[in-house]
Structure 1
């Protein structure tokens, strides 16, 4: 009997890998393990579902049962893996069950970074990282709707997710305030001119921003939530959402003795320090990089499926622009590599913004770019100029 490929995780990474495997091999046994219901949905839709008036249930594209049939796989739902035994090639599951594997793929994703807050209201802070989280967030917003009073939402983090949720909340009549320790929105992804343009458009739509400050305390009272900031200021709100970042889920891997750093360390073929274990998606650190975006996952899936079916393949990435889902200011970013030396060249008009990051030695070859409003139509042309 052929030992199965076992995939821990039924998010975009896990399901996409299983689909790619089935394209290459119709018979190889696949077992997938999910700590939740295992339903298939588009995670990027979480940050613009409010505008689309989509409920958590409506975001489900296929049930786990339907995915099991489509993929001809065994899917274990609501199942926690408590230990990986590398020597025995076996997973210990909650409740005393065991699952053997021939090859193991860790596609466990990442957890939201939780802010450390003083006061009695710290447990009021919500994060939206999966369908269950969105369901709770949706319920909390509905409760504000039912009260018919104030609708003030504080978002911690002015990065991509924070800005997307701010825009989405505006579409439903809520009043978002975004706070960040940085001095501008999407500071690590694009130049100051683009940050300013995005912030201005969101402010015109009704959002507010606070920079160079972090929330340090939250206290609950009948009047709502009182939030204190590191700069000594304070504000009240009705709901708090944290979007300050993600932490790759590395606990199981570390406990098993696999090499971990920021994520689960892999080589270019996504192999961990154990040759029978691979990692991909938000939990993996590939070539010193953790890339929590959709496009890298797609390229990882294709390469890893080839490797697992007998054709060892190094994952290679082309330019991978990211669409920021902020209709108030359409934006596409392709950030330069972390630590890259160079400078932004920015062309800004009333109708749009075009920014190119170059090292100066080869001005025609970009290391990154940012496009806004009418200029987003140049996405493909700009992507072709990015050195990979």
Structure 2
């Protein structure tokens, strides 16, 4: 019997495997991963210091332990070089091959690399998994000045966590306030004020143009000519889905590996989920959408076709200085934000389209307690696009 082969052992891959095993305990299962296959919860990286967790303590199970739990053959430190999609055959970088009844791609996304000039640019870190987080933590032990290139969600979470641990933290963000692509002005300004109050040096409206060296010190240079010395520099400019493997196999890609609502790609019997996937037009690189996708994919892999359902799933931003929950309005929908100070404190914002329908919301500080009320006012992810 040919196996189900899952490529990737991040949250998407392991969640899909667990859900598959709930519905099928006999079909062989193979998991292929480029790293050591350690199971961990990626969102916990950005508040590990606050929780007093070392990188080693964030590891939940080894590949061997996961293989036992899932009754799966684990192939670690192996890259898939190419996929013969019509025959569902995977060619690994060591020259070996795997034939599969079904293939699942849970191959994640890469941190966006701006390819900055300067002799220090190669020393800028990108935290995208447990191994790179361990590398960053080791670097942090050698100094106290940190510059984060990018003030999006991840940059803000790391900044809050690391400043609370006693580091001197600077964020350099090209937009007018942190998380400017997700938050409306009042909420974004509240976040900037809270981060500043916590001790973070928040530099907005600036782009990084180079990373130079001055002896052992990195110097991050912005487009105003200001030089920001750092012992550690980390880029946090967002994620780009890994699509090359699928594209080279003739599988349709867009902003991610395109799938229908059953998570099936344009190639029969090949599925995708997680940070790499564009599910019926949506790229949702967050835990809850990935978990929902896995719950649908499990029975589908076992023979019962099941569509994924995305309810309203607000994103929780782990910035204790300014708790935030938001449900972003769809890109391209015309409308306006209406923000106000909420009773009890914090910002409450609703985005209405030109017909008056609520399409997104944001809550900060104590106002996050109003989430349940606002969730009822907006459509679910699929219905919210039109």
What is the TM-score with the length of structure 2 in the denominator?
Answer: 0.95
User: Partner residue of 1:382?
Assistant: 374
5 Å matches for 1:213-362?
213-222=206-215, 224-349=217-342, 351-362=345-356
SS in 2 for 1:62: coil
Aligned pairs for 1:1-388 (under 5 A) are: 2-144=1-143, 151-222=144-215, 224-349=217-342, 351-363=345-357, 366-388=358-380
Contact 1:116 1:216 in 2 (8 A): no
Residue 232 of structure 1: CA displacement?
Answer: 2.8
Q: What is the distance in 2 between the residues matched to 1:240 and 1:207?
A: 14
* More deviation, 354-363/10-19: 354-363
- 8 Å contact 1:323–1:331 — kept in the other structure? yes
**1:158-182, Cα deviation, whole Å (9 max, x unpaired):** 1100100000111110111111111
Match of 1:375, SS state, is helix
Q: Matches of 1:86 and 1:25 in 2, distance apart?
A: 24
TM-align CA RMSD: 1.4
More moved, 189-198 vs 352-361: 352-361
- CA deviations 1:10-54 (Å, max 9, x no partner) are 000000011111111121221111111101100000111122221
Tell me which moved more, 338-347 or 132-141: 338-347
Give, in whole Å, the separation in 2 of the partners of 1:286 and 1:107: 13
8 Å Cα contact 1:185-1:199 kept in structure 2:
yes
Moved more, 210-219 or 238-247: 210-219
Shift of 1:225: 1.3
CA contact (8 A) 1:190 1:369 kept: no
Cα distance in 2 for residues equivalent to 1:23 and 1:9 = 19
1:382: how far off? 1.5
Please name the residue that 2:384 is paired with.
Answer: none
Q: Secondary structure at the match of 1:374?
A: helix
Residues 252, 266 of structure 2: 8 Å contact kept: yes
Alignment deviations for residues 82-139 of structure 1 (CA, whole Å, 9 cap, x no partner): 1111233211112221111110010000011112211111111001110000110010
Following superposition, the deviation at residue 223 of structure 1 comes to 5.5
Structure 2 residues not aligned, in runs of 5+: 381-386
Q: d(CA) in 2 for partners of 1:45 and 1:139?
A: 17
Provide the secondary structure at the position in 1 that maps to 2:141. Answer: helix
2: CA distance, partners of 1:86 / 1:387: 36
Q: Is the alpha carbon distance of 1:223 and 1:94 closer, same or farther for their aligned partners in structure 2, counting shifts above 3 Å?
A: closer
Q: Is the 8 A contact 1:306 1:312 kept in 2?
A: yes
Shift of 1:325: 0.2
Deviations for 1:312-332, whole angstroms, at most 9, x for unmatched residues?
Answer: 222221101111000011111
Contact 2:195–2:202 under 8 Å retained in 1:
no
- Cα offset for 1:231? 2.8
- SS where residue 61 of structure 1 aligns? coil
Shift of 1:362: 4.1
Equivalence for 1:147: none
Deviates more, 1:296-305 or 1:88-97: 88-97
* Deviation for aligned residue 1:334: 1.1
Gaps of 5+ in 1: 145-150
Instruction: Provide the secondary structure at the position in 1 that maps to 2:142.
Output: helix
Deviation at 1:360, TM superposition (A): 4.8
Give the drift of 1:6: 0.4
Runs of 4+ in structure 1 off by over 3 angstroms are none
